[in-house]
Amino acid sequence: MRNVRRKFSSYILCSCTLMFLYLVHLPVPTCALEGIGVCTNALANERSIAIIQIYNQKGKVIGKEAGVFISEDEVLTHYYVFSGVERALLKSEGKEFEIKGICGRNTEKKLLKIKIGGNGFKKADFAKEIRENQEVFIRLPEGGALKGKIVSIKDRIKIETDSQMPKIRGLPVFNKDGQVLGIIEFFIRDKNYVYAIPALEGISFEDTGLLNIKEWKEKRTAEWMESDTGKRQIIVYLMGIGEYEKAIIKLKELIKEHPEEEEVYFKLGVCYGKSERCREAIEAYKKYNSLSPDDFKAHYNLGILYISMADIKTAKKEYEFLKGFNSKEAIVLSERLLKYIEKGENP
C-alpha cells in the first residue's frame, strides 16, 4: 500500500510545476483610488499587501498570487498557495525575508496563515460585516484598485467588478473605509465576476504548529487521502490502473462507513468481476439491485457473469429483466446480452 500511496501522490501532484515564490511588496499611491473620490488608509499603506510572484525552476516568473498581512510577521492567503511549490521567500523594499512556514489554517473558509522571518509589516484592518450591494475595491498588483459591488453573500462573496481583473488569487477586497472584507479565490472566465473568501474581524485559525512547505504538502496529502472524497478518488484511480484487488480492500472499508450506498456495491461487483471472482461479483451486484431496484445496469453485468459460468438459464432471466426497463439504453444492452446468450459465450 505504501507504493500505491507513493504512486497516487505522484499522480495528483505530477501536473504541478516545481516553483519558487517571492512575496513582493508593491508601492501603493497615496490615494490608491484616485479618480473615484475615495482614499483609504489600508490601500494607501504600502506595507499591508503582499504580492506573490511564482517562479519555475529556471527562475522565470510564471504567475502571481497574493495575500494580506494580519500581523507584523504573518500573512493571510488562500489555502492552495503552496500547491506544487518547493520554496518561498518574502521580498520587500529590496530585501528578502524567509518564510518560516505555515502556522495556521481555517479549513472551512480555505484560508492559510504563514509566518515571515521578519517583522514590522503593517497589519491590515478587517471589517466587522459584509452587506449585499456594498461598494468594494480590489487592490491590483500594479497599483490602484478595481471598483466593484457585492452581488450575493453565501459561503463565498460574489462580486461584480467594473471591468475584468488579473487572474490573481489572494488579492484583498476592501470596503470604502479601507477594511478587508475577504480575499479573492476564483474567477468567472470572460465575465466581470469574482468570488472572494470572507475574512472579517475576529476570524479564527487552527494552530498547525510551524510547518515548512514540504511538511504542509505532506500533511494535506495525508488528510486528503483519509477524507471521504480522497478515499473515493483513490478507488477510481486503482480501478483505472487495473489494481482491482487493492480497490476491493478500499471498497470494503468504504462499505463499513456507508453500508447502504448502492454505488459502492456496483464498483465492488466490477472489481470482483475483473478479478474473476464471479460468485462474489454476483453477490455484490445483487446487493446493488436490492438498494437500487429501478436501475438496470447491474443486470447486464450479471448476465455476462452467468454466461461465463455456463449458467445460460439464469443469464436469460437477466435478459428478461433488462427487457422490462423502459429505457433505450436498457433495450440496447438486452439485445447485446441476447447475442452473447445465443452464442453461449461472454465478450
Residue 76's pLDDT band (boundaries 50, 70, 90)? Answer: very high
pLDDT attached to residue 44: 39
Cβ atoms 126, 59 nearer than 8 A: no
Does pLDDT of 47 surpass 70?
A: no
**In the predicted model, what is the mean pLDDT of the chain?**
83
Every domain of the chain with CATH number 1.25.40.10 lies at 227-343
Return all residues near 222 (Cβ < 8 A) that are at least 6 apart: none
Give the range among 44-53, 134-143, 228-237 with minimum mean pLDDT: 44-53
Q: CA separation (Å) from 177 to 27, 33, 125, 247?
A: 20, 12, 9, 55
Distance CA 25, CA 154 (A): 31
The pairing of beta strand 95-106 with beta strand 206-211: antiparallel
pLDDT attached to residue 41: 44
Give the range among 6-20, 25-39, 48-62, 85-99 with minimum mean pLDDT: 25-39
Residue range 140-150, pLDDT digits in tens: 777 778 999 99
| Full 3-state SS string of 132-194 | CCCEEEEECCCCCEEEEEEEEECCCEEEEECCCCCCCCCCEEECCCCCEEEEEEEECCCCCEE
**276-284 CB contacts, 8 Å cutoff, 24+ apart:** 278/305, 278/308, 278/309, 281/305, 282/306
Every domain of the chain with CATH number 2.40.10.120 lies at 2-211
CATH 1.25.40.10 fits 227-343, yes or no: yes
- All three cell numbers of 198, joined, read 470572507
Instruction: Find where cell 475595491 sits.
Output: 137
CATH architecture of 2-211: Beta Barrel (2.40)
Give the range among 56-65, 257-266, 283-292, 336-345 with minimum mean pLDDT: 56-65
